[in-house]
Structure 1
Amino acid sequence: MLSGQLEKKGFFIATLITFWYSSNIGVLLLNKLLLSNYGFRFPIFLTMCHMTACAVLSYVSIVFLKIAPFQRIKSRSQFLRISTLSVVFCGSVVGGNISLRYLPVSFNQAVGATTPFFTALFAYLMTRKQEAWATYGCLVPVVTGVVIASGGEPSFHLYGFIMCIGATAARAFKSVLQGVLLSSEGEKLNSMNLLLYMSPIAVVVLLPAALVMEPNVIDVTATLATEHRYLGLLIVVNSAMAYGANLLNFLVTKHTSALTLQVLGNAKGAVAVVISILIFQNPVTFIGIAGYTMTVMGVVAYGESKRRHK
């Protein structure tokens, strides 16, 4: 009886992880496909579509499906903190999407793997939180690997690289800022409720930005939709998958642990790199692969060092 329950639980967790991998990598690949292959050059509008889907589906999941308990905002100051997080989050997603216009997914993932470096930097600057010197030492190959990968990247684009670095830094800044702004027990929100409140705020921020910076987005999208019959469907599926990635991130953490998610996340980047190279056939070099491998090894060592020195 017990072994049967364990088997069912193991199958359930394996299924969750499979869907989590599929949604995360699927969003990344579809973003690249839309922004580079279809002439749909509107990363701000695409991010707004993602946030709109997250707002609607978060409400349905929490209020109607009860996937997570509903948590109310308790004060104006808490709302302002969440709004600040939402703006930073917008910056990270838009920057990441812009970078995909110019960089291959493989290099995008290599740069994105430096998130622990920026997290450690912002944690020290904002909270004076220090790690062991051995832990900081593990960040050396993280940064060195990206420098090496940049030198060996045939499709290197400076603007795309700057946007990717900015997006990675903003993502790290958001995680540290979240810990600072929502640190009290009364103001902590689980990730699904935080997404529920952040998403509509993000839409309000992104809508005028899209209209000003991408003024012809509606006309061009309508024209492209007539040329590519599945473009509208791809945008809808892509937006739904963006929410699914967040939902599955929450469920995998709930049913396993944050450490498991971290390990799976490191592996996910490598899987995304391999799949993207197979699909988009972007050229890679031995130096680029060696640099990315060094970065991933540094990230793994950093995570292990943090765990040991807690």
Structure 2
Amino acid sequence: MMAKATAHSGGVLKKIILSYTYLAIWIVLSATVIVYNKYILDKKLYNWPFPISLTMIHMAFCSSLAFLIVRILKLVELFTLSRKVYLTCVLPIGALYSLSLWLSNSAYIYLSVSFIQMLKALMPVAVYTIGILLKKDSFKKSTMCNMLAISVGVAIAAYGESKFDAYGVTLQLLAVVVEATRLVMIQILLSSRGIKLNPIATLYYVAPSCLIFLSMPWVFVEYPVLRESYMRGVGLNVDFTIFGTNCLCAFALNLAVFLVVGKTSALTMNIGGVVKDWLLIAFSWSVIKDSVTPLNLIGYGLAFLGVAYYNHQKLQMLKAKETAEKKSAQQNDEEEGVVLLTEKRTEG
């Protein structure tokens, strides 16, 4: 018995260690991609102020690599989608994803890494509000009060921002709204049909559509600027090593998301995201030398408490759901046992 208990505890410990390892890998990769994108797009650093072009490069790279893994190497078994599902589900999600990436990457040109992470604290607010509007979630006064507390905290952080840029803030807030809409649409369009795509399959289906959608604004917004620079003989600062490693980090991040969600849960990733935001704020202040004011920290601290409480509520709801499912299964087993016992007595 003791040997079995020791083996069981050892298995649980191993599972916990692996879960935290996957989470740490995701945090490092996510932070790396954010800082890397900021470095490339910032006019004072690498000076490549073309967010649509950068996102298109990412999508082209991810599409090619996903095609190689799925079709050539056949390392991943693909979930076949019908044309109707692709047109009605995948394409709208791809359009929202491309717009979200475009807006969020554009914000890095105007805002600091630390302040962008503070604004991203509004994601639960946007997801909950859009969920109510699309009738995917129900209105609760306690939850709405929590959402208001998060919003007030972010507003205080924005008020204390020393390098506030209205255009940059607008871009990031729009990115939050679009990304929240995409997350809710995934639940409505895919999850409701029992369709679950791993990151490779997601890239295989979604990345090419993102590339097409991004090419539309690129033709009108960035292509004329790039063409004019070429005609004037102004060389573009293109370092294939930097862009190549940046694309590899973006692709690896998608795999890390699969590991974290697959081996733990989406809620664990949300909690890890809060840790990542604090680490990025500290990194932005200490290494990149972004200015972080006391009012920034007070506001984000309030928002952080709201997000932490929101995650706590979600965790309690999941535990209650699991408990209810176990009780239901136990009751079914007991009812089946009573039926079998009755049948045996009748036969006897």
TM-score in terms of structure 2 length:
0.80
Q: Distance in 2 between matches of 1:70 and 1:38?
A: 38
Query: Is 1:96 matched with 2:104?
Result: yes
Alignment partner of 1:217 out of 222, 226, 229: 226
Instruction: Assess if the C-alpha contact under 8 Å between 1:87 and 1:205 holds in 2.
Output: yes
Query: Is 1:24 matched with 2:30?
Result: yes
User: Higher mean Cα deviation, 269-278 or 68-77?
Assistant: 68-77
Number of corresponding residues: 306
Percent identity between matched residues is 27
Query: Is 1:132 matched with 2:144?
Result: no
Which amino acid in 2 is paired with 1:107? F
Q: 1:62 to 1:165 in 2, by over 3 A?
A: same
Q: 1:219 to 1:225 in 2, by over 3 A?
A: farther
User: Higher mean Cα deviation, 278-287 or 160-169?
Assistant: 278-287
Q: Distance in 1 between matches of 2:63 and 2:228?
A: 25
User: Higher mean Cα deviation, 197-206 or 77-86?
Assistant: 77-86
Query: Is 1:87 matched with 2:95?
Result: yes
Alignment partner of 2:305 out of 294, 297, 301: 297
* Structure 2 equivalent of residue 40 of structure 1: 48
Q: Distance in 2 between matches of 1:22 and 1:223?
A: 33
Instruction: Assess if the C-alpha contact under 8 Å between 1:225 and 1:232 holds in 2.
Output: no
Alignment partner of 1:177 out of 179, 185, 188: 185
Q: Which runs of no fewer than 5 residues in structure 2 stay unpaired?
A: 1-5, 319-348
Larger Rg: 2
* Structure 2 equivalent of residue 49 of structure 1: 57
* 1:267-278 alignment runs, 5 A limit: 267-278=275-286
Q: Secondary structure at the match of 1:155?
A: coil
Larger RCO: 1 or 2 (CA < 8 Å, sep 6+): 1
* Structure 2 equivalent of residue 189 of structure 1: 197
Which amino acid in 2 is paired with 1:223? G
Residue-by-residue CA offset, 1:65-95 (whole Å, 9 max, x unaligned): 6665311112324333211111111111110
Query: Is 1:159 matched with 2:167?
Result: yes
Instruction: Assess if the C-alpha contact under 8 Å between 2:118 and 2:154 holds in 1.
Output: yes
Query: Is 1:232 matched with 2:232?
Result: no
User: Higher mean Cα deviation, 74-83 or 271-280?
Assistant: 74-83
Q: 1:63 to 1:20 in 2, by over 3 A?
A: farther
Q: Distance in 2 between matches of 1:101 and 1:63?
A: 37
Deviation at 1:33, TM superposition (A): 0.6
TM-score in terms of structure 1 length:
0.90
Residue-by-residue CA offset, 1:97-129 (whole Å, 9 max, x unaligned): 111100000000111111010101110111252
Deviation at 1:35, TM superposition (A): 0.8
Deviation at 1:59, TM superposition (A): 3.0
Q: 1:21 to 1:269 in 2, by over 3 A?
A: same
Residue-by-residue CA offset, 1:210-239 (whole Å, 9 max, x unaligned): 23211233785982437xxxx322122112
User: Higher mean Cα deviation, 104-113 or 278-287?
Assistant: 278-287
Q: 1:62 to 1:303 in 2, by over 3 A?
A: farther
Q: Secondary structure at the match of 2:235?
A: helix
Q: Distance in 1 between matches of 2:211 and 2:78?
A: 21
Deviation at 1:278, TM superposition (A): 2.0
Instruction: Assess if the C-alpha contact under 8 Å between 1:45 and 1:217 holds in 2.
Output: no
Q: 1:264 to 1:186 in 2, by over 3 A?
A: closer
Q: Distance in 1 between matches of 2:16 and 2:136?
A: 40
Q: 1:65 to 1:115 in 2, by over 3 A?
A: farther
Q: Distance in 2 between matches of 1:123 and 1:214?
A: 34
Residue-by-residue CA offset, 1:158-194 (whole Å, 9 max, x unaligned): 0000000000111100000111112443544344422
Instruction: Assess if the C-alpha contact under 8 Å between 1:153 and 1:285 holds in 2.
Output: yes
Q: Secondary structure at the match of 1:206?
A: helix
Instruction: Assess if the C-alpha contact under 8 Å between 2:23 and 2:269 holds in 1.
Output: no
Q: Secondary structure at the match of 1:182?
A: helix
Which amino acid in 2 is paired with 1:275? F
Which amino acid in 1 is paired with 2:105? N
Instruction: Assess if the C-alpha contact under 8 Å between 1:131 and 1:306 holds in 2.
Output: no
Which amino acid in 2 is paired with 1:203? L
Q: Distance in 2 between matches of 1:263 and 1:45?
A: 32
Which amino acid in 2 is paired with 1:299? V
Q: Secondary structure at the match of 1:113?
A: helix
